[in-house]
Amino acid sequence: MIKLLLVEDEPSVRKGLRMRLAAEPDVTIVGEAADDKAALALTRKLRPDVVLMDIEMPRLDGIAAAKALRAISPCIAVILLTIHDDDATRARAQAAGAAACITKRGLADNLLPAIRQAARR
């Protein structure tokens, strides 16, 4: 079972992701956060396998948060969600230690494979 922490500041997007992921037999959402501070605290407490996080968050952005999460738990896999589909964003995400950077437009096809691949690392 893949333990996933869902981090998204928009409640409706977070709800949609939760509903989609809840249907998967090998994924369990162990917690949800709306900002980086809660994400860091929940990561320390829950020790998820994968953190699925929006790249644009209040205060600390998802790329900086990915670095902080990996500092807390180096074996954690962080998947960043973004509306930006460009090489610079992907390069920044990779440099921060993110396992994947997925565009929100490509969620239907790419989200679950990315989660499963990240959890196998």
**Domain range summary for the chain, segments of one domain joined by +:** 1-35+53-89
Contact between 100 and 114 under an 8 Å Cβ cutoff? The reply is yes
* Amino acid 107: pLDDT: 84
For residue range 24-61, list pLDDT tens digits in order.
999 999 999 999 899 999 999 999 999 999 998 878 78
pLDDT in tens, 49-92: 999 999 988 787 888 889 998 888 889 999 999 998 889 999 99
Q: What is the CATH number of domain 1-35+53-89?
A: 3.40.50.2300
E strand map for 1-121: 2-7, 27-33, 50-54, 77-82, 100-103
Q: Say whether pLDDT at 16 is over 80.
A: yes
* Strands ordered across the beta sheet of 100-103: 27-33, 2-7, 50-54, 77-82, 100-103
